Amino acid sequence: MDKSSIYNSAQQKPADEVKESPTPFIKAFSSQEDAELYRLRQNLAMSDMEKFQKFCRLMRIGKMLSSSNISDNK
């Protein structure tokens, strides 16, 4: 293998690189049932680690909100 082939192979980008679109994907639903069914399918497709990370995030948010002092001064 010569130096030029090593140099060229080092500059190539990996084929499995994910390209994100500049605009976020927003799905529109015709009914609430369609939205719930879509969300259910998305949640069923999540791995155990993704579910655990989401659970931990929600627990942190819940802990933060429960410790806050919110008073209604009228």
Measure the CA–CA gap between 54 and 40, rounded to whole angstroms.
15
SS3 68: coil
- Give pLDDT tens digits for 22-46: 666 778 888 999 999 999 999 999 9
**pLDDT range class, residue 9, cuts 50, 70, 90:** low
Q: Is the pLDDT of residue 11 over 80?
A: no
Q: Which helix (H) or strand (E) holds 36?
A: helix 32-45
Question: Which stretch of 3-7, 47-51, 60-64 has the lowest confidence by average pLDDT?
Answer: 3-7
Mean pLDDT for the chain?
Answer: 78
